[in-house]
Amino acid sequence: MPSSKKPKVNIKWTFTATIISFVTAMSLGSVSEILLSKAGLLMAFILLIIIILLGVVFDIIGIAAAAAEEKPFHSMASNKVTGAKHAIKLIRNAGVVSNFCNDIMGDICNILSGTIVGIMLLELSKNTNFDRTIISAVLSSLVAAMTIGLKAAEKNIAVSQSNDIILLVGKLLYWLSHYLKIDLFRNKK
């Protein structure tokens, strides 16, 4: 029997996600613009690959957070395994983690890759006699195929290796918290 409760909208997270999206997009976009303004096609292509891979890595983390099981991390935490407590926080906040990784970072990486393709298209159309429509179709298709292909390949890995992935991310978060004093889950269980 379906529940009659309406799902609650987390207004605080919605606002936070919007601000994070703006700041992240502005930061990544500015860095990309600076790099692209001083570089040629090779640098643009390298940056494009990095942005696509960044999107795939965040997709892996978002899926793994949603698929990981919390129970094994409790015994790891009691045995003082580095990153286990942070892994528990990731799993307990899987909705927010998944939203940030899959939606915010995924969308930003997709937008940036489209922008880079546009810049590459302009550069290629200036320096070649190829039809701009053909160059645009080929570049866009390559980026789409690469992004979708890599994400299809990583889905099973993210689910089947979710606990290992989340422990690795937990170790990274521990390092950020312990050495750089950056705690992404302040006051959260």
pLDDT, tens digit, 9 for 90 and up, residues 125-180: 777 777 778 888 888 899 999 999 999 999 999 999 999 999 999 999 999 999 98
Rounded to the nearest 10 degrees, the angle between the axes of helix 71-78 and helix 162-179 is 40
pLDDT average, residue stretch 19-34: 83
Decide: 143 and 52 in contact? Cβ < 8 Å.
yes
DSSP-derived secondary structure letter, 70: S
DSSP-derived secondary structure letter, 10: -
Q: How high is the pLDDT of residue 160?
A: 96
DSSP-derived secondary structure letter, 111: H
Q: Residue 153 carries which side chain, given as an amino acid letter?
A: A
Task: Copy the structure tokens of residue 35.
Answer: 């790099």
pLDDT, tens digit, 9 for 90 and up, residues 76-113: 999 999 999 999 999 999 999 999 999 999 889 998 89
CA dist 5 and 181 (Å) reads: 40
Decide: 143 and 117 in contact? Cβ < 8 Å.
yes
Residue 9's φ and ψ, nearest 5 degrees, are -95, 125
Band of residue 62 on the pLDDT scale cut at 50, 70, 90: very high
Predicted structure pTM score = 0.82
Q: How high is the pLDDT of residue 27?
A: 87
Lowest mean pLDDT among 21-25, 59-63, 162-166: 21-25
E strand or H helix at 90? helix 84-92
pLDDT average, residue stretch 14-19: 85
The number of residues in the chain equals 189
CA dist 126 and 130 (Å) reads: 9
* Ramachandran class of 83: left when φ > 0, alpha when ψ lies in -120 to 50, beta otherwise: left
Task: Copy the structure tokens of residue 11.
Answer: 């207004």
Q: How high is the pLDDT of residue 61?
A: 97
pLDDT average, residue stretch 66-73: 96
Which among 21-35, 42-56, 63-77, 106-120 has the top mean pLDDT?
Answer: 63-77
Work out the mean pLDDT of the chain and round it to a whole number: 88
3-state secondary structure of 181: coil
Decide: 113 and 52 in contact? Cβ < 8 Å.
yes
Q: How high is the pLDDT of residue 49?
A: 94
